[in-house]
Amino acid sequence: MIIQEIKKHPFDFICLGVIFLLGLGAFLIFGHLPGGQQLALVLTGLGYFLWGIFHHWQGGDLSLKVIVEYFMLAVLGILAAFFLVLRE
């Protein structure tokens, strides 16, 4: 199923990969600055959320349920990263 989605919308998934790679790069670059790492995580989560809205809007199946789902996944991902990676 996911392979079919990637084949149907390769540009969308390339963009998603770029969002995650940029987020990872920023996180690693700011390895000595916890505030910078936190900002990188939040911006990556925001990028994922906005990507999801755009992807579903473009596909014609955007709904409030989809928006809430992407928002919750982004928040959970950010919180998980905060607790797992940035604990001191």
pLDDT in tens, 24-55: 999 999 988 888 999 999 999 999 999 999 99
Residue with the two structure tokens 């014609």? 60
pLDDT in tens, 52-77: 999 999 999 999 999 999 999 999 99
Q: What CA–CA distances, in Å, run from 22 to 41, 43, 61, 64, 78?
A: 10, 10, 27, 28, 15
Q: Which domain holds residue 11?
A: 2-85
Of residues 1 and 14, more confidently modeled = 14
Cα distance between residue 53 and residue 85, in whole Å: 27
Label residue 1 by pLDDT band (50, 70, 90).
confident
Given a cut of 70, whether residue 86 has pLDDT beyond it is no
End-to-end CA distance of the chain: 40
| Number of domains the chain is built from | 1
